[in-house]
Structure 1
Amino acid sequence: MNSNEELSELWQSQPVSDVDIAQIKQDFRGQVIKQRCYMLLDVLGMLPAILLVWLGWASFSPLAAGMLVGLGMVLLPVVGYLLWLRRIAAFGSASTTTEYLHQLTRQMQNNARIAWLTRHSAWLTPLFIAVFYLVMFVRGEMTPDRYPVVAGALLGMCCLMAVFYRWALLRERRFTRLAKQLAAQQRNSVS
């Protein structure tokens, strides 16, 4: 027996773990449901802001209303982009392991992009709100009794968003690492 035959025999004698197809399908279905729920939340998340502007329109100065409309015009494409990034997991279908692995790799890359957006929204949101209230303060459109309330809300939001930023950063790193691992696994399985 030569070394190739010995190696082949050793390889053939290795234990093989069975793939639980039912579990994979269940996990896949769970991802589909989760991503569809996230998509619904992305869209519904716009409703409170729209209602706030709609119901409080008369109380806003033209500048404040313009800033809020401008923010809305920026956020609509961002929400559209989030929905586009989630589409693979929400509406994809994979019939083979290779297709599933490819789809999972693409979704991990998209999840890293979503985490990147989340991370940057964590510092942009308090910045926008601070600028908004600073403009209102400078223009005299905010009464002095509101200063402590606004300052407290901004401080609380900054603390919350710092935690949110860290969480998104860790998610971005994790999804990037997973995407690279899956891509390497795909390359290795092809060669």
Structure 2
Amino acid sequence: MIETENSSDIELQKLWQKQTISPLDLNDIRRRATLQTRKQRFYLALDIISLSPWLLFFIIDIELPPSQKVFLFVFMIMSLLTLLYIIKLRWTSLRSMNKNTGDYSLRLLQQLKNNQRLAYINKPISFIVILGSACMEPVSYLLGEITLAQAMYKGAISFAILAASLGPWVWWFHRREKRFEREAAELSRILKI
């Protein structure tokens, strides 16, 4: 009985020693972390610039019914809050870089997970924008600010434009979410975390 256990242990040990080990390419991890930092800086600049239409809305006095101004103000506040959350998620990659490879590895892993969260939250945000914009015209009609014909026409046009333009983005966000999830899992496996 003891001999069979020892022989099975020996066989298991031999099998274990035959396993191939994935080499950890430190230069590749360092390169990916640096690239991730550059991308996050660029994306953060785009995120901040994307708020410029809200500034134009307040600088240029556009004639809109009061309810639509309220809707747009709420969208602006939501955009600012979302931007703060995005900055928080991008911060891992934006903070100062240490030259320690372990730090690169952990920072890259955390940023991949944060990128997955960013892609995930952009999907519901897109739907909120589409639905909110579609509701803006009917609310203006119900408050007597515009006619039914105007509400139907403007509502249909804004819904169609937003759905057509945001639809591909939602698909892209979904693909990015799955990609970052896969990359984070692979890096965790390599780092044995």
Amino acid at match of 1:65: K
Deviations 1:39-66 (A, max 9, x none): 1111111111231244235x23332222
2:129 pairs with 1:125: yes
151-160 vs 76-85, which moves further: 151-160
142-151 vs 110-119, which moves further: 142-151
> 1:39·1:86 contact (CA, 8 Å) conserved in 2?
yes
> 1:53·1:65 contact (CA, 8 Å) conserved in 2?
no
Residue 165 of structure 2: which of 147, 160, 163 is its match? 160
* TM value normalised by structure 1: 0.77
How do residues 127-146 of structure 1 correspond to structure 2 at under 5 angstroms?
127-143=131-147, 144=149
2:181 pairs with 1:176: yes
- Following TM superposition, by how much is the alpha carbon of 1:20 offset from its aligned partner in structure 2, in angstroms? 7.5
* TM value normalised by structure 2: 0.77
* Secondary structure, counterpart of 2:48 in structure 1: helix
- Following TM superposition, by how much is the alpha carbon of 1:97 offset from its aligned partner in structure 2, in angstroms? 2.3
Q: Counterparts of 2:133 and 2:158 in 1: how far apart (Å)?
A: 10
How do residues 4-43 of structure 1 correspond to structure 2 at under 5 angstroms?
19=25, 21=27, 25-43=30-48
> 1:115·1:169 contact (CA, 8 Å) conserved in 2?
yes
The count of residues paired between Structure 1 and Structure 2 equals: 179
> 1:53·1:68 contact (CA, 8 Å) conserved in 2?
no
Q: Counterparts of 2:24 and 2:43 in 1: how far apart (Å)?
A: 32
Residue 89 of structure 1: which of 83, 86, 93 is its match? 93
Q: Which runs of 5+ in 2 are unaligned?
A: 1-9
* Secondary structure, counterpart of 1:56 in structure 2: coil
Amino acid at match of 1:110: N
Q: Counterparts of 1:151 and 1:162 in 2: how far apart (Å)?
A: 16
Q: 1:187 to 1:29 in 2, by over 3 A?
A: closer
Q: Counterparts of 1:103 and 1:27 in 2: how far apart (Å)?
A: 10
Q: What is the alpha-carbon root mean square deviation over aligned residues?
A: 3.0
- Following TM superposition, by how much is the alpha carbon of 1:172 offset from its aligned partner in structure 2, in angstroms? 0.9
Amino acid at match of 1:173: K
- Ranges of 4+ aligned residues in structure 1 off by more than 4 Å: 16-20, 23-27
> 2:109·2:188 contact (CA, 8 Å) conserved in 1?
yes
Quote the sequence identity (%).
22
* Secondary structure, counterpart of 1:142 in structure 2: coil
